[in-house]
Structure 1
Amino acid sequence: MKDDLLHNWEKKSAQNQKKYKDFLKRVDKNKALKVLPALHDEAFEKIDCLQCANCCRNYSPRFKTPDIKRIAKHLKMKEGDFIETYLYLDQDGDYVTKKSPCPFLGQDNYCTIYENRPSDCHRFPYTDEDVLLKRPAITLKNSTFCPIVYYVLEKLI
């Protein structure tokens, strides 16, 4: 992460939460959507997820039915056994991992089920799609632990 913008990004993100919230309330969504793909690519050029893995260390994706079926098959487990071993239903009624870090995160920060990972993982950090703008609460939370979300928000503002 060789970029002044990224120096102490966690601290700066915490300090800028109100600024981000206000921005997300008033942003011109059409204008922002046009620049998001380029900002997303730029952020991924500067930030190596394998050096970070904060998302896998601290949070769980939702495991939807197709994800559960696909991953259980990949692991040669029955779906019920997969759920019982790794997941629980959270307060929103979503299946999430029982513990952090994610049980599929390897010591090298590689995902051991990468080709079969949940769709939430595949789409994260949502910096190239409208979720970034349409779900401000998620974006604000993600900006506190994902340097890519922080970077994209700073560049958008």
Structure 2
Amino acid sequence: MDELLINWQQKAREQQKANKQFLQKLQTKRGRGVEKLLPDLHEEAFTHVDCLKCAGCCKTISPRFKTPDIKRISKYLGMRESVFIETYLHLDEDGDYVVKSSPCPFLGADNYCSIYEARPGDCHNYPYTDSYEFFKRPNTTYLNSTICPAVYYVLERLKKEVKL
């Protein structure tokens, strides 16, 4: 394990306020090439992070299930959409469908996803460390840094690379 990731959750919680401020400042740097650093940092992070050993995202947060996701997953599971929704989902305060409980009902004891091939778009794109979404939603990113070691890793590497 990379030294940067030792006690990463504790360090991420302790640095939440500073990380939020850093991310907000990064938003103003868009167009100056900062976002071009993300794909390489994303790749670097995943040489140190194994999602199957963590699954923090699946254990603590829910993706949004958009209409195409619901259609695709229902078909994959051989269920009617209404039954899928009734069985697994509820509307959150933002009006998005999310899973009813944590951990995700599709997460196995081995941290494998039982619907991986049909998983929601949010799961496919998570943790957004390779796209502008990383900067676009600083509140989400700094929260994700306490859930996902890859987010924490990319954030820490950015703080070393980008002088604000």
Deviates more, 1:128-137 or 1:17-26: 17-26
Aligned residue in 2 for 1:52? 54
RMSD of aligned alpha carbons: 0.7
Q: Is the 8 A contact 2:23 2:135 kept in 1?
A: yes
Asked if residue 138 in structure 1 is aligned to residue 140 in structure 2, the reply is yes
| Structure 1 match to 2:162 | none
**Runs of 4+ displaced beyond 2 Å:** none
Tell me the residue number matched to 1:117.
119
Unmatched segments (≥5 aa) in structure 1:
none
In 1, Cα distance between equivalents of 2:13 and 2:157 = 16
1:2-151 equivalence runs, <5 A: 2-27=1-26, 28-30=29-31, 31-151=33-153
Instruction: Render the CA deviation track for 1:101-133: whole Å, top value 9, x for unaligned.
Output: 101001110100001000000000000001110
Letter in 1 for 2:90: Y
* Runs of 5+ consecutive residues of structure 2 not aligned to the other structure: 160-164
2:36, 2:63 → 1: CA distance? Answer: 27
Instruction: State TM-score, norm by structure 1.
Output: 0.97
Please state how far the C-alpha of 1:29 moved relative to its aligned partner: 2.4
CA distance in 2, matches of 1:29, 1:109: 36
Equivalenced residue count is 156
| Partner amino acid, structure 1, of 2:21 | D
Using the alignment, how far apart are the partners of 1:32 and 1:17 within structure 2? 21
Contact 2:49/2:150 (8 A) holds in 1 = yes
Partner of 1:155: 157
- CA displacement 1:88-107 (0-9 Å, x = unmatched): 00000000000111010011
Partners in 2 of 1:81 and 1:52 — Cα distance?
30
| Aligned equivalents of 1:60, 1:21: Cα separation in 2 | 21
